[in-house]
Structure 1
Amino acid sequence: MSLGSINKTMRTTAFKLSAIYLIIFSIFAIFLIVYISLNTQLLMTRQLNSTIEAEVRGLVEQYRSGGMPGLVKVIEERSRRPGASLYLVTDSRGHYVAGNVAALPKWVLDERGALEQSVPYQRLGEPERKEYNAVVSVYEMFGGYRLLVGRDVGEREIFRKVVEQAFIVSAILMIVLALLSWMFVSRKVLKRIDAIAEASGNIMRGQLDERLPVTQAGDEFDRLSENLNTMLSRIEMLMKGLKEVSDNIAHDLKTPLTRLRNRVEVTLASESGDSESYREALEQTLEESDTLIRTFDALLRIARVEAKSTQIEKCALDIGAIASDMSELYEPVAEDEGAVLTWEAEAECLIRGNRELVSQAVANLIDNALKYAVRHVAEQREKSAKDGSGTLPDVARIHISVKRKGEKPENGDANDPRPIILTIADNGQGIAKEDRARVLQRFVRLDKSRSQPGSGLGLSLVNAVASLHEAHIELGDNEPGLVFSIHFPPDERAVADKVAQESD
């Protein structure tokens, strides 16, 4: 591995996290091992002292009951037993009387009681005179005799060495495992990051359909990639929409602009032009200009709604009341067109939204339904008259309904959790299934609609308004005709907003 690769690896988050974890776990392991070792040694020392004190008390009782001969007999018997216990009886001059201790420092017998430190000794009967350590207690008896009872601490020393070895082995093993885990994690993390960086580079080079890799592991990298992929899909969709809008603007606005220019050019080139012809040309030019202005206003409004501008204010809205108001507004228009407009709405169908935009969306839907239903019925009547069948189709019918989906909760809670469905149904020509998703895009007009006035932006605005209010659109077949439904999700804040508005 080169120096550059090592420096790159050491700058990674994986290396830094591994180093931090290694330091933390090392400190914790050292503390745990030292704590267990010290407490275990302390516990063993206490057990040794307790055992020695118990033996001293037992031997003193033997001395009191059997005198020195009885004590010597018991000590000789116990000294022959294998184990870590030590016994020694000396006279007033320090000469050996009984026991299994061959030699120990002279100052030990001058002490009284339990000694705080371990003392070296040599065991009786061993030719090598090997030196050991023991914890002892000295007791002075009548006539200057001294009794020493102790326990060898070799087991404690062995335990201490075992702990030291365990500590060294654990430290080495922990470092090795930490390095191995770091290498594994670092390699895995760097591989994922390199894959993300490569995909990001491809996207920056213009491959907008490229997506960040997702391994289905469900980790934070996958969650990040999924969120970024969703964002990239949205950006790609917006870019495609922008391209389509540019193409559609060039296609759909070129014709009226050309027509406007030609009209002005013809009028100016006319030698017999009078004020009346000029006036007619200006009126037609003004009408064409108004159509263009309305088209650009619709585009700006759609862009503002799709951007979810913070300037769009929202409040509690009753969808049923808005639908009823717009239906009453369009009812005279429907009568003039020979159509029948009906509506029904449940009470308190509250959402939190923008009244102007929702009203505009409902108006666009009613206007579309009325326009295409009337035209379809007229075409059917004309066709029937030509065929001579004598049967005429029914009049154009548009029905608007606002209701909640599902059964009403039994508790009658004001925060009704059911979604609200706004439906506009007509008996027009309808829309084929393969075209239903496409008609929601900007400037999309079906072939049969090309001869009708309009810009193809009405349903695009409806789609943008629905997205702003987190609603989804469904298009169905009315047999004949179209059923256009907007499903608004329930919003508990709408009820709170209405209460606040009423209190104000």
Structure 2
Amino acid sequence: MYMVLFATSVFILMGFIYWATAGYMSSQTDETIEAEIVGLAEQYQRQGLNGLISVIRERVARDPNGKAIYLFTARDFIKLAGNIDKWPEEGEVQEGWLNFTLNEELGWHNELDRPARARVFIVPGGLRLLVGRDVNEFMAVKELVERAINLGMAITFMLAMIGGVMMSRSTARRVEIINQTSQKIMKGNLSLRIPDRGTNDDFDQLARNLNEMLDRIFQLMEGIKHVSDNIAHDLRTPLTRLRNKLENTLLKVENEVQRELVASAVAEADQLLATFNALLRIARLEMGGRTDNFKRFNLSNLLLDSAELYELVAEDKQQTLRIRVQKDIEIHGDKDLIFQTVSNLIDNAIKYTPNDGDISIELDLHDKLVRLSIADSGIGIPEEERSKVFDRFYRVAKSRSQPGNGLGLSLVQAVVELHQGEIKLSDNEPGLIVTLELPEIDIVEGNEIKNEQAGIEVSTPA
């Protein structure tokens, strides 16, 4: 756009210069010829035919270089006076003007052919008078101006392209810096700020405004963090003590009805504590979490250990748990958080899959990404609700009869985003497929291991 605008403006300027120079010179030539015709017409009126011929011969004699062109002929085009011998038959006629070439055929006594422009004047009695000018210098200047304009336009396009590329790269570089910094901030590094060059241009102003906004957001989030810590200190501890007191009371109560009531209160307290802890953990993860515990670990072994914990639960519901894990896939992250995430997903799959259902767990590499898929044949999630299940406390209508607080997938998403991964939900017809994609570090080739036992199928390919 810059190149087009710049080139267009220069083209308009060059066009004006061409019109002002070539147009002016052309009009001057035409006015000179018109003045010659007017002067000869006056001489004819005063002195008659012989006087006109004498004036023409006198003017030809005063102009040995032939800048002015005269030809006065009879009705049959026989020359009576002038500096050319023959009426030009080949030429371009435009609105009474004749453009032709002076050459030997016309009796031109110059070695080189020259362009000419003339006007025809009819003298009473059928006589013809041709008055013109040698426009060779005008045409040379015109060609010079045209070459200069063409060369100027070529240089203009080149400079415009260089300027446009430089402006585009400069703008794109500044925008890219803002984008990269913004992406890092969105991934949790709230301490980063967008650099400015100190030039006080629009980008510096934008960077300062964004940095001020980030400072304000950081202050607000720090305030939320302090509030969360205060809640954890002021409420979680009393709630834990209340739960322990209820549990101690449960040991002392002998009445069966009262024992059930106290046990129910203990279960409710446990649910409150679990919800409270999940909320605090999600808040901390969404604020960027801590990456101090990030290290390299074997995800394949972690997934097998997690699945092993749920084998008995799957057996109790007569479910078939199929595990296919590619060996020795390693990632960089928080091992405890990933273990909790995987366990949460497996627990959901078992919980929402009916008896005699199927659950499949797969881990492999795909396009340099670690892909973990957990598929079940349970109640599934409607497509229109899949974007909502990651909201806190949101529960699908079909799952409200099951125990839970609607925070599981919110926690999973927070952990996955902390590890720069992505979570996807898709239909298993019936059931649901949950797919996690995480950055991969390394893979070691191994052998495929298969084991079928108590309804559990384990396959670990290389």
Q: Please, what TM-score do these two structures have when normalized by structure 1? A: 0.41
- Structure (1 or 2) with the greater helix fraction: 1
- Structure (1 or 2) with the greater strand fraction: 2
Q: Please, what TM-score do these two structures have when normalized by structure 2? A: 0.44
